[in-house]
A and B are shown apart, each in its own frame.
Chain A
Amino acid sequence: GAGVSQSPSNKVTEKGKDVELRCDPISGHTALYWYRQSLGQGLEFLIYFQGNSAPDKSGLPSDRFSAERTGGSVSTLTIQRTQQEDSAVYLCASTIMGGSGKTQYFGPGTRLLVL
């Protein structure tokens, strides 16, 4: 079956522009996560969706970052007024349900470069 997919795979944008990154989780997975991986750094948790519950936004670095998950499936991560420090690989992961101890399946990521 298909794994987690993300689009675009690469995005180059100019400072100040808005970008939208998309994640298609594995069908049937109710929990979805966004992470950011900056060059030379570990992954950083951004936001977590679980079913119809309010998302855990505790990892979002600023109010320029937001995410939605429509219909409990596809998610979009939006970065407004991008800055050069937003350049990173943005990874999405899903699990069959929330709670601890569940394996997260990662997508290939979107590599964002802000010029």
Chain B
Amino acid sequence: SQQGEEDPQALSIQEGENATMNCSYKTSINNLQWYRQNSGRGLVHLILIRSNEREKHSGRLRVTLDTSKKSSSLLITASRAADTASYFCATVLQTGANNLFFGTGTRLTVIP
């Protein structure tokens, strides 16, 4: 299976702290994307990092990619209660198709 794995499965932090989630995958990728899913809602795209990039920032989000280790991390700085959600990494393979292979997700709870 090409599905990735997120680590940890669940994370609980205090508001204002940083949250780090990790993702590992198995095959060579074209890009890796992070999505957020609020309970009962669809997924929202957060950030995309290409295989030739190592780090990317978007607001309070920082994503790193290490293709040699086939891993990525998502850092949310200065977390807020509204950041409470499930976070998924998804990979797009090098083959050219754009279907996403998702990990199992990290459930983040930010305690006010």
Q: Please, which residues of chain A bring their CB within 8 A of the CB of B98?
A: 31, 33, 48, 95, 98-102, 104
Cβ of B31 and Cβ of A100 under 8 Å apart?
Answer: yes
Cβ of A108 and Cβ of B42 under 8 Å apart?
Answer: yes
Given A42-B3, A99-B96, decide whether A106 and B42 contact each other with a Cβ distance below 8 A.
yes
Assess whether A62 is interfacial by the CB under 8 Å rule.
no
Please give the residue numbers on chain A whose beta carbons come within 8 Å of chain B beta carbons, in ascending order. 4, 31, 33, 35, 40-45, 48, 56, 59, 91, 93, 95, 98-109
Given A43-B102, A44-B102, decide whether A103 and B44 contact each other with a Cβ distance below 8 A.
no
Mask: chain B, 83-112; 1 = CB below 8 Å from A; 0 = not: 000001010100011111111110000000
Closest A residue to B103 using CB positions? A42
29 A-B residue pairs with Cβ-Cβ distance under 8 Å, sorted by A, are A4-B42, A35-B100, A40-B104, A41-B104, A42-B3, A42-B88, A42-B102, A42-B104, A42-B105, A48-B97, A48-B98, A48-B99, A56-B97, A93-B43, A99-B96, A100-B97, A100-B98, A101-B31, A101-B50, A101-B92, A101-B98, A103-B45, A104-B98, A106-B35, A106-B42, A106-B43, A106-B44, A108-B41, A109-B42
Cβ of B30 and Cβ of A100 under 8 Å apart?
Answer: yes
Q: Please, which residues of chain B bring their CB within 8 A of the CB of A33?
A: 98-100
Mask: chain B, 1-42; 1 = CB below 8 Å from A; 0 = not: 001100000000000000000000000001101010000011
Interface residues on B, range: 20 to 34
Cβ of A43 and Cβ of B88 under 8 Å apart?
Answer: yes
Closest A residue to B35 using CB positions? A106
Assess whether B48 is interfacial by the CB under 8 Å rule.
yes
